[in-house]
Amino acid sequence: MDANRLAVDFWDNAYADGMYADAGPDPFVDRILAVAAPGTSGVEIGCGNGRNLIPLTEAGLHLVGVDPSRPALEQLAARAPESTLVHGTQEDLPPGRRYDLVIGIQVHQHGTRDAARELLRGSLARVAPGGLFALRTASADTEAVEAHEVLDVTKDSGRTFRYLEGFKAGLVVHYYGRLELESLLRDFEPVLPLRAEHTERREPPAGIWAHWETIVRRPA
């Protein structure tokens, strides 16, 4: 089974088992709404069951939701039947279509370093001139406490793990270093400068989750 199929099966099963069923939106949603005017049209890459998409659209944004997990989209559609949804990846969006707002919340870290960076570059390419890209993604400061194997550690401080145990067993996750993200985003203008957020894990084993957050604008 290839890595993409493994990942889709993982998320299908997780959503079917109730993942995020009662979860509120990520606080990053408020930071997006602070800079994206009501009426802005865009897309959320990896919208899942809508825990972020729904409050964003309720606040007045016009968003398409894209996700490869059918159970997640079925849950979203049940909660918000008026939603515009695409089952698949950003590659299944209309060819060449650009958006005034592209959102990725904890999705651009999935896969190997090359796969994660390709996904990120693909999302950046979807941003229209003058448009915004809102990113929350995994930081290399994260403490990987579950059993894992290190696939790579790079000069720009990025790290990639394959998890062997725990909730993410079998998944490959890329954790970005600051220099790495700054390089990938170098052609965009900061609106919310790249910031690090560290939070303690709510469930054992103990550890620290670390994420990068930023909102950038493509020059007009």
For residue 55, the number of C-alpha atoms closer than 13 Å in the C-beta half-sphere is 13
Q: Which pLDDT value is given to residue 120?
A: 97
* C-alpha span between 133 and 108 (Å, rounded): 12
Give me the sign of the Cα torsion angle 69, 177, 195, 129.
negative
Domains and CATH numbers, the chain: 3-139+177-217 (3.40.50.150)
182: which residues sit within 8 A by CB, 6+ positions away? 194
Question: For the chain (length 220 residues), average pLDDT per consecutive 10?
Answer: 66 90 92 98 97 98 97 96 96 96 97 96 98 97 89 92 89 95 97 92 74 97
Q: What is the pTM of this model?
A: 0.94
Q: Which pLDDT value is given to residue 4?
A: 62
